[in-house]
Amino acid sequence: METQSRQDVQKRLKSIQRLMKETCAQFEKITKRRLESRRFEDVKSFEDLMKKSSSGEKGDDDESRETRQKFLTIVSTIQTLTGPLKSATDIAFSPASACVSALSFILEIPSKVHGIHESIRAVIDEVEPRFSELRAAVIFIPKASKLLERMGGIDQERQGKVLVRLASLAGDKEQAFQYLKQALELWSHDCREELSDLVIDTLKLRMASGPMGHLGLVIQMAIEDSDYDDTQMMNLPYTISSICSSSADNFAFLLGNIQTAIENAKAQNRVKTWTTLLLQKGMAYACYSDDPSHADQAVKAWTECAETIINKLKYLSAGAILLDRVGRQLGCYYFTQTLKDPDNAEIYSQKLKETYLAADFIRHGKQPEAEALFQANIRDAFDLLPDDTTGNYVGGLIRLVQIFLYTGDRVNFLNAYSLIARRVLDVETLEEWLRSDEKTTTPEATELMDFFQENCNKPISVWYKLAELVQFMRRSRNKLMNETPWSDDDAANMKSYEALFESMKRYAEALSDARYDYSCDACECVLDTNKSMYACKFCFDFALCELCFHRFQHGALKMSLCHIEHDYVRIPPWDAKAHVRAFQRRVLIDATVADDGYLVGGREVPVVEWLNCLKAKWDPQGD
């Protein structure tokens, strides 16, 4: 049976190669033509969308899609090889080997042919789960790495992950370190999530022998990476601390390595490196140890970090960023002590600065005092929001969100947040959008909805979906225009199409402004129609999704910048009405907050009217 299976595989591989040759010939004919899904990536206005949606030769889309579908057939054929070969002992006939052959052939096609790289990614995705099988990995991963390298910058994320796998297989410490260094270089501009994956993947594959010997080098390399974005929280040491805390020996090993690195950095006068390590050392003590004495050790490390920054880095941007981080850590610690140790609360309160002073006022019912702290901030926000068309619209709203959160104004917090729209186009939202205007509640609008449900309700770019709608309306309108003789009904139908075009233009403008996602500080998922968020009323810009929030409450999740005794405001999931209200820039005033976090009651008004009401309260003199 096994021999027969191998023979079948050989036949299938020959069929794949034959199909590839045919498909390659077709690709060469349409090399200069662009796939429909690529045509709209540079759309910046509704006019661009209208222009691009009508471009292209007749039959171009069909031929492109047909050719792309052939490649998907190739991938599907490769996928079917997995089943009968799970028990095969000859690695030469494994699915990994089959995919290497397929990939090698694909890369013979000119690299500029559209759609090629999607096929390569799909094939690699198919065999990636088999990386943990050592025999397959030894053969496949180096070849996959070379193939991805030939693709250049188009797929750096996958290439980096393949390099991480190579590091896990390398027997030589220096070789493993070089693989990880290459991966870090690929991800240096956006490495928060990828660095976490790097550490987790390598430690999972080497956990039996304890923390990897080259881990300290990776930490130092990440801290000193000149391309790293200093404005983001460095996630790599945070992840390492979390992993090492599962074992007392590993945790002690980690702390020893950090202290050695601090001493080395001091000896070489690398101030940014040693202050960053002091910050991370305090976080490791505070978050990943239940030893009471370690809280004091954390405060000691953070205090030393702050003093060093003030003495040696205060005039540099890196020093300002680090000082903000360590200040947040110390502020969180001292505020928590006021809750846990009320007898000495006054002593701890004196150590708090403005960020947590507002929260302290709110806890004691001193709303006016809390609001007074943010007078200058809200005036800045109003300057960014003189009307509802300014380009600084989102920036001003984010400031309002933070101010209302920290001053305990739940209704206006939820209103401000509700205006920061997501970029979404689905059946429910489009239906609500069309229903909100009587000019677009016509039979033509119903036809548009039917077309959308049949052709566009799938996980593709919102611009592609919008382009499909525009094309459908254009075809329908042109068909009507070509009908003779015209009747009064035809004239009414034409007005309906014009109203739909105008409606889609406004939707496109709303999508252009919609570019913000509220994300969880633990798992980084975003607030959508299925997930709610919990925003901390005390900590600066900190929120957790519902799952992480419940884990946090029960002690299963520990965070360095928050405490379970803080207060939270629930941000409910998005729905179609909320999306449309945000796109139309309208809010509910005089509303109340229900138990589930949604605003109920009140009346819906334009955002300008809402802003005028806020200005009357916060800035009555109009200064």
Chain position carrying tokens 């300008």: 608
Q: What is the mean pLDDT of residues 63-89?
A: 44
470, 452 in Cβ contact below 8 A?
Answer: no
329, 286 in Cβ contact below 8 A?
Answer: yes
Region class of 115: left (phi > 0), else alpha (psi between -120 and 50), else beta? left
More confident residue, 323 or 118: 323
- Could you tell me the two tokens for 351? 């150590």
Q: What pLDDT band is residue 412 in, cutting at 50, 70 and 90?
A: very high
Q: What pLDDT band is residue 413 in, cutting at 50, 70 and 90?
A: very high
CA distance readout (Å), 198 to 73, 135, 145, 236, 558: 32, 21, 16, 9, 21
Amino acid 239: pLDDT = 55
Q: How many alpha carbons fall within 13 Å on the CB side of residue 496?
A: 21
More confident residue, 436 or 79: 436
- 369 pLDDT above the threshold of 80: yes
pLDDT tens digits, 26-69 = 444 443 343 333 444 444 444 454 455 444 433 444 544 555 55
- The answer to whether the Cα torsion of 525, 526, 529, 532 is positive or negative is positive
Range name among 167-171, 303-307, 444-448 with the lowest pLDDT average: 167-171
Domain residue limits, the chain: 245-352, 427-513, 533-618
- 591 pLDDT above the threshold of 60: yes
Average pLDDT across the chain, whole number: 67
Say whether pTM exceeds 0.85: no
Cα separation of 428 and 453, whole Å?
10
Closest CA to 506 of 428, 584, 441, 432: 584
Cα separation of 101 and 143, whole Å?
10
433, 458 in Cβ contact below 8 A?
Answer: no
Chain position carrying tokens 């959508």: 528
- The answer to whether the Cα torsion of 337, 342, 346, 349 is positive or negative is positive
Secondary structure (3-state) at 600: strand
Cα separation of 34 and 63, whole Å?
11
- Could you tell me the two tokens for 67? 């050719």
Cα separation of 136 and 82, whole Å?
13
More confident residue, 213 or 474: 474
Secondary structure (3-state) at 511: helix
What are residue 417's phi and psi, to 5 degrees?
Answer: -65, -40
Q: What pLDDT band is residue 411 in, cutting at 50, 70 and 90?
A: very high
pLDDT tens digits, 292-301 = 788 888 888 9
Secondary structure (3-state) at 571: strand
Beta-carbon count within 10 A of 374 CB: 20
Closest CA to 448 of 513, 507, 488, 489: 507
Amino acid 211: pLDDT = 41
- Could you tell me the two tokens for 592? 């109340």
Beta-carbon count within 10 A of 360 CB: 18
Cα separation of 257 and 265, whole Å?
12
Q: How far apart are the first and last CA of the chain?
A: 86
Q: Which helix (H) or strand (E) holds 446?
A: helix 443-455
**75: which residues sit within 8 A by CB, 6+ positions away?**
119, 122, 123, 126
Angle between helices 462-481 and 488-513 (to 10 degrees): 160
- Could you tell me the two tokens for 460? 């593709």
Amino acid 138: pLDDT = 46
pLDDT tens digits, 257-266 = 788 888 888 8
- 429 pLDDT above the threshold of 80: yes
Q: How many alpha carbons fall within 13 Å on the CB side of residue 369?
A: 12
Angle between helices 95-106 and 134-150 (to 10 degrees): 10
Residue 599, strand partner residues: 593
More confident residue, 528 or 447: 447
Cα separation of 175 and 182, whole Å?
11
Closest CA to 381 of 174, 172, 618, 222: 618
Amino acid 84: pLDDT = 35
Q: Which helix (H) or strand (E) holds 603?
A: strand 603-606
Residues in the chain: 623
